[in-house]
A and B are shown apart, each in its own frame.
Chain A
Amino acid sequence: MNEPFSKLDRDELNARLEGLRKTERKSWAGQFTAFFAALGVLFGLSGCREHFRPTCYSQPMTPEQMETADAAAAEQEKAAQEAGNETANETGNGTENTETPETPTNEK
């Protein structure tokens, strides 16, 4: 049970993390917003992501859902390219993740 693993200092860890970003920028992990957008459309939700969080110890996505996410992301990317825009994934900045009260009309 006590399997050894390489201990890395913070600089080495950071280099490995940044390596992940370069190699996996377009992988499923970067596609969540597209996935939730697709589901929002699918289920006619009001658009609040907080309402669509499988939560606690349940899983964020199954492989089938990931496939849907990949397809939705590909569509999104295509649409963005057609519009001449860079997608958030391409900039490596990810996408906005928290529903913030940037919609002040919702606040009391």
Chain B
Amino acid sequence: MSFWRKRKAVPSPTAGNRSAAGGILPEIAVFEVTYQCQHRCAFCYCPWENAPDWPKDELPTDEVFAALEILRRCGVRQVTFSGGEPTQRPDLREILLHARSLGLRIGLISNGRDLNAEWLDFLQPLHVLLSISVPGIETFEQTTGVPGVGHVLKLFSMAKERGIKTSANVTVSRTNLPELYENIAYPLIHGADYLLLNRFMPGGRGMQYTDLLLDADELNQMLETAEEVLRRAGKKGHVGTELPYCVIRDPKKFRFLQISSQCSAARYFCALDPGGWLKPCNHSPIRICRFDQIPDQIPAHPYWKRFLEQNYLPEMCAGCRHLSLCRGGCREAAHVFSGSLDSPDPLLCGRFPVDP
């Protein structure tokens, strides 16, 4: 019996794991440092990809530094840089060096297109954990709009040679589901250390492709396939976007793939967009406040507090026997898809067969 199984799963009704440093933000932040990207992924959730009027207010270098300092002061200890595609920022190296000088742990999420041996040599001494998106093998170009899966696979090998830990980010839609076994296996055999598995979520550019969303059966197929590949390889992974517990056919069978049903936005991590605006989650359509207003505004901000207090349960979930484990799946996906934070998770929105 594992350590965890002896313990009770009792969610805190109010605040989650606030920073160990006692700050007002959680310990982990995703910093989307740019709007730019060379790929055209069908699953891209970035809200600006679906909003032509979104201000292109990307922070200049000095303000990125200032934002990192404020995050640090507010309790953040790990920053994962993403975008857009973070390597599209010409000053990314300076930004990473500055983050490291502040004592922050660093993650980098990239589509890999512009990464090469020189980049990896730069990242290695910074102990960056590198996540590379690989949303298909044969279907890579269909999903991303550009060819190049061979380059991405080679990056995993090159990173391994340098001792850089990598995670393969596989977002699953109806496009790559039929080749999911290969989609997970190839990065692993090329050297990926870990799997970050995400269901395609509505949002951003993805709103144009909602026919590619998985239904409940397909979602279970995704989970079972991932578990099988991970088990064979003796590797681990987790599902990055929380799932409604009642959709998972047999939760007990997953030993290599970790699945969560509790939204962790604002409680365990938060996001900053390219304009320096804080959001509870990178999937959030709502900007809360700019980074320099965080200390004043966050403690009493009503939207932020809803996440801290988990005050967003869909009506359909009231009285559910799984409430100690589940808070209705992804809240921001529900928000984006159906218009309010307490809507059912998109997986439970009528067109999907479920048996809660």
Contact = CB atoms under 8 A, between A and B. Distances in A.
Interface of A: 1-5, 8, 10, 13-14, 16-18, 20-22, 24-25, 27-30, 32-33, 36-37, 40, 43, 45-66, 88, 92-103, 105-108
A32 B235 contact: no
Contact of A57 (B1, B196, B254, B267): B196
A71 to B, nearest CB: 16
Contacts of A101: 251, 321-322, 324-325
B64 to A, nearest CB: 18
Contact of B9 (A1, A22, A50, A61): A50
Given A99-B4, A101-B325, A16 B264 contact: no
B146 interface: yes
B9 A55 contact: no
Given A3-B154, A57-B240, A50 B262 contact: yes
Contact of A29 (B193, B229, B241): B193
A56 B240 CA distance: 4
A13 B122 CA distance: 32
A99 to B, nearest CB: 5
A43 B11 CA distance: 15
Interface in B220-259: 229, 231-236, 238, 240-242, 251-252, 254-259
A64 to B, nearest CB: 6
Contacts, number: 246
B297 to A, nearest CB: 23
Contact of A61 (B20, B129, B234, B254): B129
A20 B5 contact: no
Contacts of B106: 62
B150 A3 contact: yes
Contacts of B320: 108
Contact of A100 (B113, B251, B260): B251
Given A55-B240, A105-B8, A98 B28 contact: no
A10 B181 contact: yes
B328 interface: no
B78 A62 contact: yes
B322 A59 contact: no
Contacts of A36: 4
B151 A1 contact: yes
Contacts of A14: 232
Given A33-B2, A33-B3, A48-B11, A60 B167 contact: yes
A27 B234 CA distance: 10
Nearest to B79: A58
A4 to B, nearest CB: 6
A86 B198 CA distance: 33
A56 B283 contact: yes
Contacts of B324: 101, 106-108
Contact of B11 (A32, A51, A98, A102): A51
Contact of B269 (A22, A47, A58): A58
Contacts of B196: 57, 59-60
Given A4-B150, A57-B80, A98 B254 contact: yes
Contacts of A8: 189
Given A1-B151, A17-B233, A54-B268, A43 B20 contact: yes
A17 B154 CA distance: 17
B261 interface: yes
Interface string B29-69: 01000000000000000000000000000000000000000
The 10 closest A-B pairs by CB, nearest first: A47-B7, A21-B234, A3-B150, A59-B107, A48-B9, A106-B324, A17-B232, A37-B3, A63-B127, A50-B262
A86 to B, nearest CB: 14
Contacts of B240: 55-57
Contacts of A53: 238, 258, 260, 262, 264, 268
